[in-house]
Amino acid sequence: MRRTLYTADHEAFRELARNFIDKEVVPHYPDWERAGRMPREIFERMGELGLLGTAIPEEYGGGGVRDYRFNAVLQEEAYRALVTLSTVRTQIDVILPYFLEYANEEQRRRWFPGLADGTLLTAVAMTEPGTGSDLAGIRTTAVRDGEDYVINGAKTFITGGLLADLVIVVARTDTDPDNRRAGLSLIVVESGRPGFTKGRILDKLGCKVQDTVELSFEDVRVPQSNRLGEEGKAFGYLGHNLAQERITVAVGSVAQARSAIAATSEYVKERKAFGQPVASYQNTKFELAAMSSEVEAAQTMIDRAVLDLVEGELSGADAARTKLFCTEVQARVVDRCLQLFGGYGYMLEYPIARLYADARVARIYAGTSEVMKTIVAKDLGLR
């Protein structure tokens, strides 16, 4: 179906992203999967090409255009090539907005040039062992001591944490027994500070190129000048970017589902069963036709949501609806595509197996499907 979301500038950016991914990502992707991470050099190369810093002001080396559609294009092109750039997506879609919104001028001068050119990699440390996504239950503490904070605690499931130079740590700077949401702050911790330890790379079901680690903080001293925004206001800050984070997951889900259909359509034309191509069977045609229709519906929904996001009109409830619908469509489509591959679909040498494994987390991170349903239900007045 015809899409009207993108302009000529976005399509020019798409061509740049496509050339980069085809030439500099796809040939090396299997090696990165085995290593469990992307190399630092690839971020620097993306920075050179202007793929990372479109939203960063020009005076710091960025593109000066805060338009989420460029981020969406980058995701679409990665999934078109049957690869995922999850760590990149986390850096520019989830973490960079915190710097853009809450960094003061001194922090901008200190960090923005490296964020734009790919020499400074980032992570955000929210989730803790035993608390999951319950931000109000965070136990990591940051206690004032002179001009510093002293941080103690542990974080887990931290995307990009292994390579990160800067980690935004969500820590409790004050305790209010009557309001668990109060007293949280965002503090940027540089890699290499004494007491800051990066643990093992967690062995995940999918998203193998995305390094995910545990972090620990033992009396880590960080200057108060590393705090983003006001002390004690982090809970509100974290909620501010949730709509974009959820739309980011939905964009990837639809792009991945579309790629699964394309890969499956090609496979069933070549694969034969009982002497004829699998594509010739009515069930194959009906399955792919139904899946294509679902994906087009999801694409229309996500395009509308992206435009609302760009225009500052996307509500939290609509972001939840979009993530819920698009990730559930992705799950159904990738599962049905794998079925059409038969036994070969279960073999990792076929991309559908990787797509299947990668897809499962989409209904979990950035808020589970159950959380999305709760948000939508509240929007319907169901308390």
| Backbone dihedral angles phi then psi of residue 301, each to the nearest 5 degrees | -65, -45
**Residue 364 DSSP SS3:** coil
DSSP 202: P
* Phi and psi torsions of 366, nearest 5°: 60, 20
> Residue 291, exposed/middle/buried by CB under 10 A (0-12, 13-18, 19+)?
buried
Residue pointed to by tokens 């809450």:
102
Enter the tokens of residue 253. 């889900």
Pairing of strands 166-172, 122-125: parallel
**Residue 214 designated active-site:** no
Catalytic hit among 76, 77, 214, 245:
245
Burial of residue 358, with CB atoms counted within 10 A of its CB: 0-12 exposed, 13-18 middle, 19 or more buried: buried
Q: Which of 75, 79, 121 is nearest to 96 (CA)?
A: 121
Whether the CB-CB separation of 150 and 221 falls below 8 Å is answered with: yes
A 10 A CB-CB count for 229 gives 16
CA 254, chain centre distance (Å): 14
Tokens of 55: 């939203």
Beta strand ranges found along 226-346 (DSSP E): 227-228, 272-273, 276-277
Say if CB 186 and CB 338 are below 8 A apart: no
The rounded Cα 346 to chain-centroid distance in angstroms is: 26
> Which residues are identified as catalytic?
245
